[in-house]
Amino acid sequence: MLRRLIPGLATLALIAGGAQAQPGNCAPREVVVDRLATAYGETRQSMGLGAQGAVMEVFASQTSGSWTITVTLPDGLTCLIASGRAFEAMAAPLPKPGSDA
């Protein structure tokens, strides 16, 4: 599963690099995390490492179901990559490839 996750994280890191040109989508990490918590009730649900030291995080609210994906670059700049609604935590792992799931 990790082999499938790494390319996705690398893609997100590349997207985040492009997002730097849009200052409205990026801010220092502490500002973004505070805003997600106070305005949307979102807390970090998961994280992973991407290419060139980027950190991908998923924030979500268990109450409202809102979610946000961010990428933080090594310099501390955090960019919003995607957001949505109807977040659901998955307790069970994905089925193994080739199974009848």
How far apart are the C-alpha atoms of 84 and 53, rounded to whole Å? 25
Asked if residue 75 belongs to a domain, the reply is yes
pLDDT score for 9: 47
Domain that holds residue 12: 2-84
pLDDT score for 23: 60
Count how many domains the chain has. 1
Residue 15 class from Cβ within 10 Å (0-12 exposed, 13-18 middle, 19+ buried)?
Answer: middle
Asked if residue 38 belongs to a domain, the reply is yes
Asked if residue 42 belongs to a domain, the reply is yes
pLDDT in tens, 41-94: 999 999 999 999 999 999 999 999 999 999 999 999 999 999 999 999 887 777
Q: Which residue has the higher pLDDT, 11 or 79?
A: 79
Asked if residue 17 belongs to a domain, the reply is yes
Asked if residue 9 belongs to a domain, the reply is yes
